[in-house]
Amino acid sequence: MKTIVLLIVASLTATSVIAQTIKPMPGTATKSAKTGNGSGIVKALDPKTAKVTIQHGPIAALAWPGMTMAFVANPPTLLRSVKVEQRIDFTVQVTAAGPTITAIKRR
């Protein structure tokens, strides 16, 4: 009888431990990428490194003021459609790795 009671208690305890939700440790949760749309002028292109420098206006979704900065294009083939001093609209995604252009369109 003792054995049966101990087995029941052990199985109920094991079930409650398994049913608990696992929460990530503080500071280890992955942050989702932020995305914003901007407009600007291409100032430099480097197809070898897939980088484009853009002088852009404010990007409200990212709380960025207007500035000139370099971005990596992903995929790099996005850079084939633009030239230096061309006006563009673009989508930028910001992750822990940095800002990446994910879409670019000539105006």
Delimit the domains of the chain by residue range: 34-106
pTM beyond 0.85: no
- pLDDT-based confidence at residue 13 (cuts at 50, 70, 90): low
Q: Which residue has the tokens 């370099």?
A: 70
pLDDT at res. 3: 75
For domain 34-106, give the CATH number.
Answer: 2.40.50.320
- Cβ neighbours of residue 10 closer than 8 Å, sequence gap 6 or more: none
Give the pLDDT confidence of 20-76 residue by residue, as tens digits.
666 666 655 556 789 999 999 999 999 999 999 999 999 999 999 999 999 999 999
Residue 27 vs residue 83, higher pLDDT = 83
DSSP category for residue 59: B
- pLDDT-based confidence at residue 17 (cuts at 50, 70, 90): low
DSSP category for residue 23: -
Q: Are 45 and 77 in contact (CB under 8 A)?
A: no
